[in-house]
Structure 1
Amino acid sequence: MAEKIPYIVESNGNERVDNYFWMRLSDDQKNAVSPDDQTARVLAWLNAENDYAGAVMKHTGSLQEKLFGELRERIREDDETVPYLDNGYYYHTKYFSGKEYAVYYRQKAGTDSAVVILDVNILAEGHDFTGIAGTTVSPDNRLLAFGTDHVSRRQYSLQIKDLDSGELLPDHIQNTAGMAVWADDSKTFLYVSKDPETLRAATVMMHRLGTPVSEDKIIFHEGDETFSVQLGKSRSKKYIIIVSSHTLATEVRLVEAADPGKDAVIFEPRVVDHLYSIDHLNEKFYIWTNSGGAKNFKLMSCPVNRTRMTHWKEIIPHRPDILLENFEIFDDYLVVNERIKGLSNLRIIDIENNSGHYLDFGEETYTAGISINPNAGTTMLR
């Protein structure tokens, strides 16, 4: 049993007792070459627990090896994804036998050869663990932003790679959520900085290439500790979307990709029990929402200059027997992911005449969902 040492934790004006606070180690303690007294105590307890588990489970050793072997045989070591077209380039990833991590490729449309843009196996050299997040290419196709985590805390360092020279730029940002969202100029991006203690995704920052990270501008800070922040970009590429969310509420803010330094504008203020997400294409916002008691969600739209709920118009009503899970908008079509009697269904709706049909998968049971579709003008769905 771990030793109990009472410690008073203060949060939001409240106090609670944490008997195991002594086990919390800082990043400096975790990365130190020589453990201090606290780290040594924590390691001693972990090693004792591992020894105990090993002794109790010793008789299952051969079974564990058998199960591990069976599961591994089901995974192709030399696998690759289907390429997708984005801004004139096809992108895909590959895995190779004997390698632990993916290799990212891209191929210019109309050419025959793909080029490696990121080999995670190289980044992982010398590390026990490597995680990659948020690989995003700049609008001019020249720069790749990506986040790396070598500790397994989802605390990513943002790096920028010049895809022409293959070199990493000096811009290196620590303690982020791992994703950069590019502005139109391909020189500026927004990212989310994490609280160094709680690791809550809390603050949206703006960075300009070639400038010190210390000069990065705060675009938005989420002051409510029960909320966390995410970033995205609209289908139209016109807006950077800031989402503040917790279990029971959502609030979206918008920043123009052409002018990312401007103040973020609230789309619809947060209200307890209201969950929503938005997208934008062809001068219209689309809203997935549970407003008005729509437990299974409904789809609505509004003009660009009137985003408050009073201006929302219904596209797909709430239905008590159908769960609207998500949606994807295209220039001519709207694709919605609906769950009916436990099964996922994809419905294609013609935006011009509002006619629609469901994709027939020819099976009684199956799993279906919307994949990567970066090109809004396509007539093919992934």
Structure 2
Amino acid sequence: MQANSGVGLGLTVGFASLAINYIRRRALTSTVTLTPPVLPKRPKMVPFGKVPGENRGEQPMEPIVYLEDPYYYVRDDSRTNEEILDHLRAENAYTKAALSHLEKPQDDLYKELLGHVQETDQMVPYPHGDYLYYTRTEEGKAYRIHCRKPRHDANGAEEILLDVNQLAEGQAHCDLDSVEPSPDHKFLAYSVDFTAYETYDIYIKDLTTSAVTKIIQGCDGSIVWGADASTLFYVTQDGAHRSHKVWKHTLGTPQASDMALFTEVDEMFSVGAYKTTSGRFFAIASMSKVTSEIRVLDLRDPAATLTVVAPRVQGVKYTLQHWDKHFLITTNRDGDVNFKLMSVPVDAVIGTASAAAAAAWTLVFPYDSNVKVAFVIPFKTFFVLGGRQHGLTQRWICGRNDDGWHKTQLAMPEPMYSLGVATNAEYDAMAYRFTYSSLTTPVQTVEYNVATKQTAVLKETPVPHYDRTLYDCERIEATATDGTAIPISIIYRKDHKTPTGVPQALHLYGYGSYEASIEPNFRTTILPLLDRGVIYAIAHIRGGGENGRTWYESAKYLTKMNTFTDFIACAEHLVASKMTTPAQMTCEGRSAGGLLMGAVLNRRPDLFTAAIAGVPFVDVMNTISDATIPLTTGEWAEWGNPNELQFFAYMLQYSPYENVKAQAYPNMLVTGGLFDPRVPYWEPTKWVYTETMPRRERGRSWAVSRWRACVT
């Protein structure tokens, strides 16, 4: 499952740097003997299959199959069991003690990382109405400051809209999600979570009087203004933390009087709400992992009601934007796995039966199986198509004239790069903004002018003490067990690169799930590794989205094993090519990437000397079988449902918790988040306590006892 609880940046990077420094110089060895905490076993037989009164999916097994779980009791949904909390505190104390001899190097690394950050900085202002909006940061302050200036007055004074540093004062946690100025720019709506549960409250700030009012309590953080500043829309969650209900709020009225516009009752689906870039339509998207359904509301018509654009069909996904007299739709309809762009007249949707409207869709550009079509950003006179080709993000500038539809691909200056999203707040604009970076190029804000066909770099994020000429990057390929070529992006410091055939330290990162692409973008956090002669490598394994939807679908459900064997193939290739050796190679993955770590190390622990598993999703069988755990039912469309026979047998082969062996494992740092709503704390905790897990007080290399959990 996907997780969001962070791992301390200095700790994580410090671990990798220090581990590799030990490998190179063997200078950081603790002589302290420590006794790790002990957690008693209390076996429980966990049922898989059809359990009366429980949601176990559409085709649960009969009869029930049981697996014994010696640490099932570690799960405490309330997070109030003092026995468990005391144990977690003991684990943290043990980890701190085991790492105590590395406190100074960690502190030095933190300062080094901070030295690459220009703390006082400002983003490129974006035009919106009569203002230029931007955020800035100040040295010594942890959060951003949201500001604006008059658009047409070069000497106009700055107006601070929201200083998040002030918002966070006195709070143990502060997560700002949405920040949305009203259509008339007189109000600012923002959502913030002070609890760490990812449950947000919405506040309205009157930008004339500076008065702040909490208007919504308990939502998912999204905010969508209506046609004017009198109404806004928001989304609430059910008990499983699933976004499921969309509401309309009228400013000046109590939340209790809000109107529920739509409720998604299917637990496999969640909902999202947005306004088309034209500003005309409000849209509600119901989405599962494999199916979608969108409803639109014409904001220009006070009497309008929600209209289904196309009814949900299992396995068919689509997105929607409004452009001119058409809706532009990306979809995998008709089995076109990598998606295509289609169009339908607005009049064919509004006031028409949804089935008839779906029949009116027409193809905009021919389907290309080598191009993943991802999204559309419409402007008044053109639109931008975003997607992937050749394993990289791409952008096309598109439009329509008397000769029909046309598109032009934007050229990029480097062979390996990553494109991201910048704010394009004005539908009438003649320029499109996006972000650009590569492994060696810090993030740039770039603007493409459609009229002049010129591209300009508006700003490059300053990175102090960084000289890009010292570094180089390249893309190589490993061969998977089935012959598939698996890309690997690598970056290194040129003056520390060893001659060909002479191995050196290397840190390998992977994820490989949810069609998430690990982009070859700039990361200041890896500079301490590179500056110490370490190669940083990204394995673009299947299960991710780097090479399109087919890349993802070839490593999910009953082919998920490809994710793990791909990563092993990448590691083996790096060793075979003499770029590194197992004694010099470390690896890392977070959340579903932590599952990758567990599955890979159960199979090939000999390939690595150390590993980081951040908030790892390692208790696959127990978590995915239990629909009471937040967001679980939606995960059945990603992994399969272990309550069903075909998935039970397959998932049991790779679930890390059940497959730990009595063998030598590399040294590991395992972290967890006590209140992480996606990967609960008990997963990494149980994992480190399985019976055959190595229990020696000190590992083979520099750092902590093997398989310890640090839960925060």
Specify if TM > 0.5. Answer: yes
Look up the equivalent residue of 1:176 and give its one-letter code.
C
User: 1-side partners of 2:314 and 2:306: how far apart?
Assistant: 21
Task: Give 1:133 shift.
Answer: 1.2
Relative to its length, the structure with more strand (as a share) is 1
User: 2-side partners of 1:362 and 1:53: how far apart?
Assistant: 45
Task: Give 1:367 shift.
Answer: 1.6
Matched-pair contact (CA < 8 Å) for 1:334–1:351: no
Superposed, which structure 2 residues align to 1:206-245 within 5 Å? 206-245=248-287
1:290 correspondence with 2:332: yes
Question: 1:76 aligns to what?
Answer: 118
User: 2-side partners of 1:148 and 1:191: how far apart?
Assistant: 13
Q: What secondary structure does 2:142 align onto?
A: coil
Question: 2:346 aligns to what?
Answer: 304
1:346 correspondence with 2:395: yes
User: 2-side partners of 1:373 and 1:331: how far apart?
Assistant: 12
User: 2-side partners of 1:141 and 1:292: how far apart?
Assistant: 43
Q: What secondary structure does 2:162 align onto?
A: strand
Question: 1:105 aligns to what?
Answer: 147
Question: 1:329 aligns to what?
Answer: 378
Relative distance call for 1:92 and 1:298 in structure 2 (3 A) is same
* Number of aligned residue pairs: 369
Matched-pair contact (CA < 8 Å) for 1:349–1:356: yes
Stretch moving more, 117-126 or 366-375? 366-375
Question: 1:35 aligns to what?
Answer: none
Larger Cα Rg: Structure 1 or Structure 2? 2
Task: Give 1:160 shift.
Answer: 0.7
Relative distance call for 1:274 and 1:63 in structure 2 (3 A) is farther
Matched-pair contact (CA < 8 Å) for 1:145–1:179: no
Matched-pair contact (CA < 8 Å) for 1:219–1:261: no
Of the three residues 383, 407, 426, the one matched with 1:356 is 407
Look up the equivalent residue of 1:288 and give its one-letter code.
T
Could you report, residue by residue, the CA deviation over 1:8-46 in whole angstroms, capped at 9, with x for unpaired residues?
996426799993475112xxxx7xxxxxxx443342122
1:272 correspondence with 2:314: yes
Q: Which runs of 5 or more structure 2 residues have no equivalent in the other structure?
A: 1-38, 61-65, 350-356, 434-712
Task: Give 1:263 shift.
Answer: 4.0
Question: 2:200 aligns to what?
Answer: 156
Task: Give 1:211 shift.
Answer: 1.4
Relative to its length, the structure with more helix (as a share) is 2
Could you report, residue by residue, the CA deviation over 1:230-270 in whole angstroms, capped at 9, with x for unpaired residues?
11101221111111112111111112324578542211111
1:175 correspondence with 2:226: no
Question: 1:127 aligns to what?
Answer: 171
Relative distance call for 1:11 and 1:119 in structure 2 (3 A) is farther
1:12 correspondence with 2:84: no
Of the three residues 353, 361, 378, the one matched with 2:429 is 378
Aligned Cα root-mean-square deviation (Å) = 2.5
Stretch moving more, 265-274 or 341-350? 341-350
Question: 2:161 aligns to what?
Answer: 117
Question: 1:166 aligns to what?
Answer: 210
Relative distance call for 1:56 and 1:226 in structure 2 (3 A) is farther
Look up the equivalent residue of 1:142 and give its one-letter code.
K
User: 2-side partners of 1:344 and 1:129: how far apart?
Assistant: 34
Matched-pair contact (CA < 8 Å) for 2:326–2:343: yes
Question: 2:534 aligns to what?
Answer: none
Stretch moving more, 71-80 or 6-15? 6-15
Q: What secondary structure does 1:53 align onto?
A: helix
Matched-pair contact (CA < 8 Å) for 2:74–2:84: no
User: 1-side partners of 2:248 and 2:312: how far apart?
Assistant: 24
Question: 1:33 aligns to what?
Answer: none
Matched-pair contact (CA < 8 Å) for 2:278–2:378: no
Relative distance call for 1:326 and 1:185 in structure 2 (3 A) is closer
Q: What secondary structure does 1:43 align onto?
A: helix
Relative distance call for 1:5 and 1:92 in structure 2 (3 A) is farther
Could you report, residue by residue, the CA deviation over 1:172-215 in whole angstroms, capped at 9, with x for unpaired residues?
211101122111231111100122x3221111111111212111
Could you report, residue by residue, the CA deviation over 1:303-352 in whole angstroms, capped at 9, with x for unpaired residues?
11324321111112221112222221112212222322112222212322
Q: What secondary structure does 2:215 align onto?
A: strand
Stretch moving more, 115-124 or 317-326? 317-326
User: 1-side partners of 2:386 and 2:416: how far apart?
Assistant: 16
Matched-pair contact (CA < 8 Å) for 1:276–1:289: yes
Look up the equivalent residue of 1:374 and give its one-letter code.
A
TM-score, structure 1 as length reference: 0.89
User: 2-side partners of 1:5 and 1:87: how far apart?
Assistant: 63
Could you report, residue by residue, the CA deviation over 1:114-146 in whole angstroms, capped at 9, with x for unpaired residues?
211111111101012211111111112111111
Look up the equivalent residue of 2:259 and give its one-letter code.
K
Question: 2:77 aligns to what?
Answer: 24
Q: What secondary structure does 1:351 align onto?
A: strand
User: 2-side partners of 1:266 and 1:2: how far apart?
Assistant: 54
Q: What secondary structure does 1:23 align onto?
A: coil
User: 1-side partners of 2:121 and 2:240: how far apart?
Assistant: 37
Relative distance call for 1:222 and 1:351 in structure 2 (3 A) is same
Matched-pair contact (CA < 8 Å) for 2:331–2:340: yes
Of the three residues 345, 369, 372, the one matched with 1:320 is 369
Matched-pair contact (CA < 8 Å) for 2:321–2:376: no
Relative distance call for 1:338 and 1:22 in structure 2 (3 A) is closer
Q: What secondary structure does 2:223 align onto?
A: strand
Stretch moving more, 103-112 or 295-304? 103-112
* Higher relative contact order (Cα pairs below 8 Å, separated by 6+ residues): 2
Question: 2:237 aligns to what?
Answer: 194
Question: 1:34 aligns to what?
Answer: none
Taking every aligned residue pair, what percent have the same amino acid on both sides?
A: 30
